Amino acid sequence: MVEITSYASSSRGNCYRITDGITPLLLEIGIPWKVVREKMNFQTSSLAGALITHSHNDHAGHVKDAIKAGIDCYMSQQTAEAKGLEGHRVKVIEPLKQFDVGSWAVLPFPTQHDCAGSLGFLLATQGGEKLLFITDSYYCKYLFKGLTHIMIECNHSTEILRNNVESDLLAREQKNRLMQSHFSLENVKKFLQANDLSKVQKIHLLHLSDSNSDAEYFKREIEKLTGKLVIVAKP
């Protein structure tokens, strides 16, 4: 059974632990490695690896320390180059080419972000469960069948953005950047409506903006739309 634990989920840092009961993995290492070790009760040697979506520091800022600790880290060539990473622990992967990490089958796919080589991941267990992980992408052009767990960024809503710009709480340049690089509530809804949710057990909303989101409202809206259990990852 898939288990998901959020260690951090915000613009200050992102890191999640997932397991299928056999193989534990990290998704992102955007928080200090010593914090990861503490949250895992110093059992990081149990990890089979870490999947990194892109090179921005809140997602990959501490990958080098994980590599030094002996953790295999999977990422695109662009991400490895941007972070100056090399060595046998750096596992370069390509979009739409499946690979295995322990008992997980992992399919990386390109996402729409202002960072070269950004990826999302579809992870399948040997028991038939499917976990979708998408963050830092303003939309996703792919459709997925048979998903059981969804981890998806829900960074902001266009209404809150508009109100903040009108009240001078948000620069227009920042608004444009958010809209062109991060998933909005509205686009999350469209994405979920376009996909097969019949087997979905839980939807995790990730990476909410400090000032341009409303966790309780987002949770209610997605629960009302999907009829599924929705969990908002804590910052």
* Tens of pLDDT, residues 160-196: 777 766 555 556 566 556 556 789 999 999 999 999 9
pTM over 0.85: yes
For the purposes of burial, counting CB atoms within 10 Å of the CB of 17, is it exposed (0-12), middle (13-18) or buried (19 or more)?
buried
Percent of the chain topping pLDDT 70? 93
Confidence of residue 206 (pLDDT cuts 50, 70, 90): very high
Checking if the pLDDT of 158 tops 90, the result is: no
Task: Report the pLDDT value the prediction gives residue 211, as an integer from 0 to 100.
Answer: 81
Backbone angles phi, psi at 15, to 5 degrees: -165, 130
CATH assignment, 3-232: 3.60.15.10
Task: Report the pLDDT value the prediction gives residue 165, as an integer from 0 to 100.
Answer: 60
Task: Report the pLDDT value the prediction gives residue 53, as an integer from 0 to 100.
Answer: 98
Domain ranges within the chain, ordered by starting residue: 3-232
